[in-house]
Amino acid sequence: MSIVVQKYGGSSVATVERIQAVADRVVRAREQGHDVVVVVSAMGDTTDELLAMASQITDLPDPRELDMLLTAGERIAMSLLGIAINARGCRAASYTGSQAGIITDTQHGAAKIVEIRPKRVLEALEAGSVVVLAGFQGLSSAYEITTLGRGGSDLTAVAMAAAIGADVCEIYTDVPGVFTADPRIVPTARKVDRLSYDEMLELAAAGARVLQARSVEFARRHGVRLHVRSSFDDQPGTWVEEVDGSMEGVMISGAALDTDEVKVTLERVPDRPGVAARVFKAIAAEGINIDMIVQNVSHEGVTDLSFTAPREDAPKLRGVLERITAEIGTDRFSIDEGIAKLSLVGAGMRSHPGVAADMFDALAGEAINIEMISTSPIRISCVIRQDDGERALRTVHARFGLDEEQSSDSSRA
């Protein structure tokens, strides 16, 4: 019998009515003869609300206690869904991450999965139960409760799908699939039927939050096929899987806007070997991931150093930077909260020069200033003012022929 993993995001379980609808869908999959593992997020905006309560107390809540708090959100959703499935005469049992054997490292707030021991989950399936799992959480090697980073229920679903050899991992959400841009910002965006892992990974890392980037990375490594689709209807969504030949013609697969980063600038940093290593080692030691880095030309032995980092890490970052700037003797640092990162992603960029120039030209046409640039073989990203973000996304989306009503000639090789 085939095993299906279904993951339902916060908006798909936001109310008791929505949970009832999810229970109906789960029971249908069970009646079709599948073994079903369901992964749930916290209801609606629960995680944000819990975070807001903690931050009313302090800017830097104790990481262990914060994880205890946040994992409670998923526990409410999983048990309500368990109740709803049982009430339909279908046997189901809910499990926390710890009970389901999701073992992580000890990094509270952004723990990495180090091992999955799916014995209990497999036994429950064997006994004919639907398994309901709390997403976003695990048990650390030090027996503490951890969380997997924002959007981490996607990772729970993918990792469990890999561990139990599921045929597919279905990601149910509040949009019909992955679009060429966030359909809430670009109403003319098109749904994409198929994407390669590489393209989806770049889109997710660029801020298309429909999938957590780490979950896509995990899916690629373990060959888990993903089907991103709406929990509101039965239409097919977007498949994320290994590239096949037919996709090579697509030049640009999408654009994304990330407003969850800040830009940090260290002014007048001594320009000598070892300084950058010291700065970034101190930041990495706090578990903060840096994204773009730009160093200016040096004058009189000093230079400015800028980088971007997750907005949620800004309070932690401030502490590290106060310490490190005193140690290396720089003048000062600033944290600019008013930025956005605009990215264009497409496998065809590898073989098509001029994509970057066209993107910059589109932004120039709107008088939008570019503050930082970074590239990968299949992505170009620009840091711009956050106020310009949505207009910039729509402009670039249109320039590359991604809009629904336009002919898609210019988006193809």
Q: Given the rule CB under 6 A, which residues bind ligand ADP? A: 9-12, 41, 151, 173-175, 178-179, 181-184, 208-210, 254, 256
State the Cα–Cα distance between residues 163 and 157, nearest whole angstrom: 10
Complex with ligand ADP: residue 97 or 264, whichever CB lies closer? 97
Partner in contact with 384, chosen from ligand ADP, ligand ASP, Mg ion, none, beta carbon below 5 to 8 Å by kind? none
Restricting to residues 79-138, name those near ligand ASP by CB under 6 A: 135-136
Q: Does 151 bind Mg ion (CB under 5 A)?
A: yes
**Given the rule CB under 6 A, which of 40-48, 263-271, 329-337, 340-348 is the region that contacts ligand ASP?**
40-48
- Min dist CB 186 to ligand ADP, Å, is 9
H or E segment and range at residue 115: strand 113-116
Cβ-proximal residue to Mg ion, closest one? 151
What angle is formed at CA 26 by the lines to CA 22 and CA 30, rounded to 5 degrees? Answer: 170
Complex with ligand ADP: residue 140 or 253, whichever CB lies closer? 253
State the Cα–Cα distance between residues 19 and 11, nearest whole angstrom: 10
- Give the number of other Cβ atoms within 10 Å of residue 15's Cβ: 11
Complex with ligand ASP: residue 47 or 411, whichever CB lies closer? 47
Partner in contact with 11, chosen from Mg ion, ligand ADP, ligand ASP, none, beta carbon below 5 to 8 Å by kind? ligand ADP
One-character DSSP codes across 118-179: THHHHHHHHTTPEEEEESSEEEETTS-EEE--TTTHHHHHHHHHHHTT-SEEEEEESSSS-B
Burial classification of residue 119, based on how many CB atoms lie within 10 Å of its CB (0-12 exposed, 13-18 middle, 19 or more buried): exposed
- Min dist CB 203 to ligand ADP, Å, is 6
- Do the beta carbons of residue 335 and residue 381 sit within 8 Å? no
Binds ligand ASP by CB under 6 A, chosen from 6, 11, 12, 41: 41
Q: Provide the pairing of β-strand 226-230 with 168-173.
A: parallel
Partner in contact with 152, chosen from Mg ion, ligand ASP, ligand ADP, none, beta carbon below 5 to 8 Å by kind? ligand ASP
State the Cα–Cα distance between residues 372 and 173, nearest whole angstrom: 32
Q: Provide the pairing of β-strand 238-241 with 261-270.
A: unpaired
- Min dist CB 41 to ligand ASP, Å, is 3
- Residues binding ligand ASP (CB under 6 A): 9-10, 41-42, 47, 73, 135-136, 150-154
